[in-house]
Amino acid sequence: MTFATFTHFVTSRSRTMAAAAVGAAVLLSSAVGSAQTAQTAQPAQQATEEAPPPPPPPQPPQPPQPLRYGEPLVGLTANQLADFMEGREDFRNVETPATGLGPIFNRDSCVACHGVPAIGGSSRIFVTRFGHVANGVFDPLTSLGGSLLQERAISPDGLERVPPQANVIAKRQSTPLFGLGLIEAIPDATILRGVRATRVNGVLGKASMVQDVATGRRLVGRFGWKGQQANLLTFSGDAYLNEMGITSRLFPTENAPNGNVALLTKLDKVRDPEDQVDPANGKGDIDRLADFMRFIAAPPTAPVTASTAFGAKIFLDTGCASCHTPMMMTGPSPVAALNAKAVMLYSDLLLHDMGTLGDGIVQGSAGPRDMKTPPLWGLNVSGPYLHDGRADTIEAAIQAHDGEARIIKDNYLKLNADQKKLLVDFLKSI
Ligand code: HEC
Ligand code: HEC
């Protein structure tokens, strides 16, 4: 990791760089100061081993950003704020069979799975995927209701079960939605620049190319554990159908319980598409849900301290940033709050072969062992960790890294206890 990148990385913690030129300049000078000390004192590799952390940097004025989870982006217009609030109402709206819920579904509102520690967050609710693999070929068992299980139904007759044919079953945890509008606004080209032609420290990475339902274009998927969707509108439609059983103009066909179409016909009473577009403004629920997620702010960060600055350096020296890219810029956007902003997401939004950490499910261009690098912001409140929640702590999550992350995980294992603690404290602050 170069010095310039490190400086940039610490500096750009002031997410809205343009709005915070003064704060950024102060932070830059303090970061340059401490990083230069570390650089001139000894080679980067040993720099992390020196015992006393550098003196705390002066606290610059922070750019405007919400201090709590679930707040809107700072700098929205009155109309955008109204769209955010309208979408938030839809997000917590509880659906019933009369309004289109089911016949099969997982929960009756978005917030049921995305409500911790605030609306738009995550939860400890898992969904189940299944499939059948034979001779290395994965079959999502679509005709039997795969690969996503809907574990509830509006009538007991409709209840889905994992079919006996399934020999791969994987759990997936609900993910937080904070800052997703910023992630959506990162240009495809920026993400594609992260793909490596040859391995560097074992890391390769590939983009999840998807045929996007909303735009009809081939785009870089960036949402979901497998990078399976490219934008928030399509994800809204997908989640509305697959988690709640509500059809829309983008996803007009109901899921049949374990593929049983006769049973679907018997149970499905509401005409499709259930999500109707309001002729007054051309918006349906899926558009309003996308507005809410587009305008929700990134998770709040803790102030930079000497100890977290040191942890950041360990993060970089260990090689974590090869996949967990600290910062990417959004492209031009008609929404000022999303236009040319520094996004401190700590992800390259690429798929990596994670070896034993893969979930065995093939989805779009993601193979059975491929997982998308998840953003690390907000880690302090998003546990348990990893796609299946197998890690209760950040340390356990790092230790489970495998495949392309093997060499860098081994670097981590060689750190001493103090260094590991500084790294984790840093991760809890971002
Ligand atoms: C039953 C729980 C559940 C419900 C209900 C639910 N979700 Fe999710 N959500 C999940 C899970 C699990 C994931 C991760 C899915 C995956 O990657 O396979 C997820 C992922 C997402 C993502 C991708 C986040 C990211 O950072 O990549 C978005 C966007 C999303 N959900 C929106 C919604 C919306 C909008 C609704 C309501 C229409 C909704 N969800 C309802 C469980 C749920
Ligand atoms: C080869 C790319 C790669 C490297 C290198 C890498 N990671 Fe990851 N990381 C991932 C992927 C992919 C996942 C998601 C795995 C899954 O789906 O279970 C992940 C998950 C995580 C999580 C859990 C996030 C969550 O929300 O559950 C943490 C914490 C984490 N990584 C920290 C680190 C640290 C610290 C390092 C450096 C020691 C590191 N990673 C190196 C790709 C990488």
Among the ranges given (36-40, 89-93, 267-271, 305-309), the one the predictor scored with the smallest mean pLDDT: 36-40
Number of domains in the chain: 1
List the Cα angle 320/323/328 in 5-degree steps. Answer: 110
The pLDDT score that the predictor gives to residue 269 is 92
Cα–Cα dist 369/136, whole Å:
12
Question: In terms of C-beta density within 10 A (0-12 exposed, 13-18 middle, 19 or more buried), how is residue 199 classed?
Answer: exposed
Q: How far is CA 68 from CA 11, 74, 92, 114, 419, in A?
A: 22, 12, 18, 16, 29
pLDDT recorded at residue 370? 98
311 residue type, one letter: G
Q: How far apart are CA 160 and CA 263, in angstroms?
A: 11
**89-96: which pairs have CB atoms within 8 A and are 24 or more residues apart?**
89/288, 90/285, 90/288, 90/289, 90/292, 91/119, 91/120, 91/289, 91/292, 92/119, 95/244, 95/246
Sign of CA dihedral 80, 81, 84, 87: negative
| Higher pLDDT, residue 2 or 310 | 310
Let me know if residue 271 belongs to a domain. yes
> Among all chains, which residue has been given the structure tokens 């309208």?
86
389 within some domain: no
Closest residue by Cα to atom 43, ligand 2, is 323
Domain assignment of residue 153, given as a range: 78-177+231-295
Report if residue 193 sits inside a domain: no
318 lies in some domain? no
Closest residue to atom 36 of ligand 1, CA basis: 110
Candidates 149, 177, 173; CA nearest to 163 is: 149
| From 171, 316, 324, 410, mutation site for ligand 2 pocket: most ligand atoms within 8 A of C-beta | 324
Q: HSE (CB half, 13 Å, CA atoms) of 251? A: 20
- Pocket test of ligand 2: the residue of 122, 127, 323, 399 to mutate, having most ligand atoms within 8 Å of its CB, is 323
Confirm whether 286 is domain-assigned: yes
pTM for the complete prediction? Answer: 0.89
Q: Which atom of ligand 2 approaches the CA of 405 most closely?
A: 1
The closest-lying atom of ligand 1 relative to the alpha carbon of residue 244 is: 5
90 belongs to a structural domain:
yes
Cβ atoms of 29 and 60 closer than 8 Å: no
In three-state secondary structure terms, 313 is helix
Q: Whose CA is nearest to atom 19 of ligand 1?
A: 174
Segment 162-195, tens digit of pLDDT? 999 999 999 999 999 999 999 999 999 999 999 9
Instruction: Determine the residue of 174, 210, 236, 347 to mutate for testing ligand 1's pocket, defined as the one with the most ligand atoms within 8 A of the Cβ atom.
Output: 174
298: which DSSP letter?
Answer: P
Q: Whose CA is nearest to atom 30 of ligand 2?
A: 398
Report the chain's mean pLDDT, rounded to a whole number.
88
* The predicted structure's pLDDT at residue 54: 52
- Whole-number pLDDT of residue 21: 29
Contact 281, 287 (CB under 8 A): no
Atom of ligand 1 nearest to the CA of 129: 18
From the alpha carbon of 390, which atom of ligand 2 is closest?
A: 18
Question: In the structure, what pLDDT confidence band is assigned to residue 64 with cuts at 50, 70 and 90?
Answer: low
Q: How far is the CA of 175 from the centre of ligand 1 (A)?
A: 6
Instruction: Ligand 1: list residues with CB < 6 Å.
Output: 106-107, 110, 112-114, 125, 127, 172-175, 177, 180, 223-226, 232, 235-236, 239-240, 243-244, 289, 293
pLDDT over 90 at 45, yes or no: no
Residue to probe by mutation, ligand 1, list 91, 106, 175, 345, most atoms within 8 Å of CB = 175
Structure confidence by residue, pLDDT tens digits, 68-116: 999 999 999 999 999 999 999 999 999 999 999 999 999 999 999 999 9
- Cα 175 from Cα 372, distance rounded (Å): 12
Asked, for residue 430, whether it belongs to a domain, the answer is no
56 belongs to a structural domain: no
* pLDDT > 90 in the chain, percent: 84
User: Which tokens belong to 185?
Assistant: 């606004």
